[in-house]
Structure 1
């Protein structure tokens, strides 16, 4: 009986020892699991720590790492950590934000323009402009400008002014005007697209037009029949004006090669008597019998109304010879340029 009891005590002792061994083993494993190796990346350095702390916030507090209000920590402070967790601290820096012309100093630890705006809850509409672009890296001292762009449409009725069309009429006196058709303005509906940047209009363009009333243009006839006022105050109409070189001649031998007594002395090519107002021309330029007005171009007295009745061997092309009764007057006239008006 005693031997049985001794054996039982021995067996119980062994069980107790085994249980205690397992308990110590499990405790050791648990402790090993609670102890974690963490890397903290901050302020340009990397710190490896071994810790039993369970959250990011607890680890940073234990390590004495201070955070400013706008610093950004990844993972977040409340998150649990496991062995091998990497804690990254982004220190906040100052930037200037200009939104629709309003300036604001912002302290942020965001690394892109887009994440900055998201963190601030700032929405960007499709037409808005952001400089630098949303994907750009955000740098300390950066100026981020948001230009708010808005488009509106305006429909208005506009008057279409009529134009004046001039038509020339050679049956009307020169300078006379005659209204053939009265002008009337038209009207059109115009759809405008108006663009604003930060509330200021920057562009306006027509996107659609509808004619409600066509325009009627004014038509005016303008007389082109030419006339000239002669040195005697007479109004004479003309069809053409030529610039010619003028000389002078008389009935004498030096001009015509004929002397008094010659049956053709003082007789023109047309068979008329030479007299003041008769001129010699090139018939291929000015037909014989044409009525003319000879106007001086050098402020001397004009020869006046004339008729082309004579020719001359040296009068070719744009030359004209003016008859004077007195030889001395012909010599005095010499050679000069004149305007020759072809009269009706």
Structure 2
């Protein structure tokens, strides 16, 4: 009887040890399992960075447990459907408004992208090779920024341009002064121009000549112009002249007051040219009007003109555009005084 009781006590002791051992293993397995599914992650949201311990699930379930709402345009990295792994860094990029000016169209868009390039890619906006973007593609976006896309188009066009004809003037001394005769009609030419035209947002901003080709040469106009000049004297005669000069005129006589000579002087009344002084003889500066030149003296103050004259004399005070007119009487010379006249140099 004692033996049987001892066996029962022995079995009871063995069962207890087994139970404790099994329990210990179960606890260890549970602990290991919990440690295996535990995840330590970093959550970055609205400028804050916090450490979170979680036991699995997706990024979306983690954010739901934290009471964090995600807007439709917000961007989460890793994405919401991905499972959380130990050491993850979960970053929430909140969406914000920016202005997009694409050519002539302006819209407000909501984006969570960080750079200009990312924002345009998310909107499936294609850029041409020559299009310009401001700010540049790698610039960081901030709320309220404006992205401006300038659409650039270049095209090659051909234009015909008129080549104006020139006028060539030929002078003819046998043709009256002021008269013209057309010898050859002028005709415009044509030039073909190849242009590269640049447009920005549909507006032309520049055009560059690539090539020019003359289709038709211009024909110059040839005009003959008369240089022969004529004047009508007070007597009604027509005289041809080659130049006219406005001069200051004075008057002199053969007497002592003008020449310093008296009638007994052998050179009394003799001009510098050796001719006898007479009405129509004038004294000039030979550097301006050579001696022997035929002249016509025209009044400029509505008084009678002196008329036809001959440059035969000189005077000590006659220099430059000055002329001295001979009068027979001292009274006429004094009456004439000094005045402006037109001196026509006759052919």
SS of alignment partner, residue 209 of structure 2: strand
1:100 aligns with 2:103: yes
1:292 maps to 295
2:336 aligns with: 333
1:111 aligned residue? 114
Unaligned runs of 5+ in 1: 1-9
Provide Cα deviations, 1:62-98, integer angstroms capped at 9, x if missing partner: 2221111000101111222211101000111111212
Structure 2 gap segments, 5+ residues each: 1-12
* Structure 1 residues 91-112: Cα deviation after superposition (integer angstroms, max 9, x where no partner): 1111121212222211111111
Per-residue CA deviations over 1:166-223 (Å, capped at 9, x if unaligned) read 3444443322223343322222221122222222333333222111222222232323
| Residues 208, 23 of structure 1: alpha-carbon distance in 2 compared, 3 angstrom cutoff | farther
Partner SS, residue 117 of structure 1: helix
The answer for the alignment partner of 1:129 in structure 2 is 132
Matches within 5 A, 1:41-52: 41-52=44-55
- Aligned equivalents of 2:39, 2:90: Cα separation in 1: 13
Change (3 A) 1:104 1:317: closer
Segment drifting more, 85-94 vs 296-305: 296-305
Q: Deviations over 1:308-330 (max 9, x none)?
A: 23444554554422122332111
The alpha-carbon deviation at position 120 of structure 1 amounts to 0.6
- Look up the match of 2:85: 82
Which whole-Å CA distance do the structure 2 matches of 1:102 and 1:313 have between them? 89
User: Secondary structure of 1:59's match?
Assistant: helix
Given the alignment of the two structures, is residue 324 of structure 1 paired with residue 327 of structure 2, yes or no? yes
Matches within 5 A, 1:127-206: 127-206=130-209
- How many Å apart are 1:291 and its aligned residue? 0.7
CA distance in 1 between counterparts of 2:84 and 2:343 reads 113
Alignment partner, residue 53 of structure 1: 56
Could you state the TM-score of these two structures normalised by the residue count of structure 2? 0.84
Matched residue, 1:69? 72
2:321 pairs with 1:343 = no
User: Could you list the per-position Cα deviations for residues 254-290 of structure 1 after superposition, in whole angstroms to 9, with x for gaps in the alignment?
Assistant: 3345556877665555565543222233445434332
| Counterpart in the other structure of 1:228 | 231
1-side partners of 2:41 and 2:317: how far apart? 122
Instruction: Find the residue that maps to 1:330 and give its secondary structure.
Output: helix
Q: CA deviation at 1:225?
A: 3.2
- What's the counterpart of residue 280 of structure 2? 277
**CA distance in structure 1 between the aligned counterparts of 2:237 and 2:17, rounded to whole angstroms:** 157
Q: Which stretch shows the higher mean deviation, 206-215 or 85-94?
A: 206-215
Q: In the superposition, relative to structure 1, how do residues 145 and 214 fare at CA in structure 2: closer, same or farther (>3 Å)?
A: same
Question: Cα 1:29–1:300, aligned 2, differ >3 Å: closer, same or farther?
Answer: farther
Q: Say which of 234, 241, 244 aligns to 2:244.
A: 241
Q: Hey, what's the Cα distance between the residues in 2 that align with 1:203 and 1:290?
A: 64
